[in-house]
Amino acid sequence: MAFVLRVAAFHGVRSHSLFTNAAFSLCEIKIAGAVRYGITRYPDSRRNGNADGSNIPTKHVRRGVATRSSLASGSAEWNLSEVEATGDSPWSVAGDEGSRESLSQSPLLQAESILFIGKVWPEHGSTAAGVRTAQLLRVLGGTNGGGGGSGGERPGNQLHFMSPARRNVYSEELEAAGIATYQCAPNRAAEFLAVLDAVQPTIAVFDRFTTEEAFSFRLRERCPDCLLVLDTQDLHFLRANRQRVVSEGGSIVDALHHVPDTSSRELLRELAAMHRCDLTLLCSEAELSLLTRCYAFPPHKLALASFFYDTDATYPSSTASSPRHHFTTVGTFRHAPNVDAVSWLATHIWPAIRAQLPMAECHVYGSYTTAAISSLNDPSSGFLIRGHAPSLHVLASYRVLLAPLRFGAGIKGKILDSWLYGTPVVTTPIGGEGMGGRGGGEGGKAEGEEVNGEAGGVGGWSGGQQWGGLCGAEDAESFVADAVRLYCDQQLWATCQSAGRAILHQQFGMPRNGPALLASLAAAKSNMGDHRLRDYTAAILWHDSNRATEYFSRWIELKERGGRPPL
């Protein structure tokens, strides 16, 4: 296994998203006298991020709480601060008394210094992943909702966020919430070590496996007692391989049941990163079960950390004076599953829906709209590309959300947001994966259950369990039938609306998931020493002969310094 992982790591480094940029030069490197690879490097504009041109990483922190007006100044499509009674800042636990009370009793709140390392600043105004990262930071902030230090019986955790990305409105919001921010490129030992010396982290969270590849070796070397946590968001290898299945002509069912093997480079790299870390956070019970059942991953190194919605907030609902009309779909167009879903919707699904519901329209919202997506806009057929939504509140005006996902992984934020605003959903088994409430299983389905369009008179999961819509469509024809049925059947619609909100509160609420996450972190930290001594797979991967990403990073740094060793 060690040899396979080592070779996979070398092959994967070449396309490492943190090691590459649009501006690059090709050269060759010979490692261990064996293999030659193409190397890429950052352009000069990314090398020195400070205004004065220095190489020392910048630290920004501004104490206080972001106001609703300041948050609204940026993009706000996914801005949870717009929801009534949830507090002024997406980074604060204020506004949910149940959440604040449950978090205050967590065993982890002992003034930890937590460093969150992200490829980008959390874009809660653009992506579901950004929403979840914002929620994670709220949980990790403890009782004081961010930087900590006042306002609670015990001091909250000190939060720090580091990213190689350029600063933007999202980094400013972190600072306004009292979270110290650092900008530091990969392959810059002195700058990163300066951050570590300033932060002295006791817990470090990587936002994806490529971030772990770029930064974990120096963090472990400098801070050996720091708990290393990998937040997968979704399993990248599962999403990538499902996309490959569909692109090669496979069906939704083929993608759902596909279990990647060792021929998958993404699988080997992501599993290696997970094994190197002390704890891995997963959004979906289906993915947690997949890892333990199919890849024999140690259960004590996995923790379920899905979404963390406030459950005592009030949200708009339709009334006789403001009825709901039309269909909608949402999602950033930097995410391949969303691009495919909208294309499939426009070409194969919407024309058939429109033929049965000639007055209906479909409004498509999403950040980073491309020319290809814009070209799908067709007012004559009621298919309208709206671009970036001003607020999540727009969901409250629609009758049904369409999520025709043919591939993907993790928990779908668009579905949770739709339930949050009382909008039932029509999706595929890929879209409904891990949201059935009875645990995950091999190939994405919960153990012992079948996905179908009929479940005790209500679409969703088998066994009579109600779901917040219909999630059994495996092809365009069945998706059209589900969409028309849910749109026209008022009793079914009302039942699905109630079921969606119930699932959201029961499985994705802060009072339930926040304390559970903190308890998992506390257990991992208290047992870290013993677990590391017995974690033979991690020890093999940390051995010098298998640390390809570390030596690759060191080589890039040396090359960019003109062959001069760092000071």
At the second CATH level, the architecture of 47-310+510-530 is: 3-Layer(aba) Sandwich (3.40)
CA distance 324 to 397: 5
Across the chain, which has 567 residues, the per-10-residue mean pLDDT values are: 36 39 28 26 32 42 31 30 37 49 56 92 80 89 47 66 92 91 90 95 96 93 97 95 97 96 96 97 95 97 92 59 87 94 98 98 94 96 93 92 97 94 96 68 34 34 67 96 97 94 92 92 95 95 74 77 64
Using alpha carbons, select from 171, 107, 112, 177 the residue that is nearest to residue 138.
177
Using alpha carbons, select from 165, 507, 89, 441 the residue that is nearest to residue 289.
441
CA distance 533 to 91: 36
For the beta carbon of residue 358, count every other beta carbon within 10 angstroms. Answer: 9
pLDDT digits (tens, 9 = 90+) for 279-326: 999 999 999 999 999 999 999 999 999 999 887 666 655 554 568 999
Q: How far apart are the first and last CA of the chain?
A: 37
pLDDT recorded at residue 318: 53
Structure tokens at 515: 């304390």
For the beta carbon of residue 540, count every other beta carbon within 10 angstroms. Answer: 17
Name the residue ranges covered by the structural domains of the chain: 2-46+531-560, 47-310+510-530, 327-507
pLDDT recorded at residue 515: 92
Q: Supply the DSSP string of 470-520, one letter for each residue.
A: E----SHHHHHHHHHHHHH-HHHHHHHHHHHHHHHHHHSBHHHHHHHHHHH
Q: Do domains 47-310+510-530 and 327-507 have the same CATH topology?
A: yes
* Three-class SS of 135-170: HHHHHHCHHHCCCCCCCCCCCCCEEEEEECCCCCHH
CATH number assigned to the domain with residue range 327-507, chosen from the 4 options 3.20.19.10, 3.40.50.2000, 1.10.3720.10, 3.30.1360.170? 3.40.50.2000
Contact by Cβ (8 Å): 453, 459: yes
pLDDT recorded at residue 83: 31
Q: Which residues of 40-53 are buried (b: 16+ CB within 10 A; e: fewer)?
A: bbbeeeeeebeeee
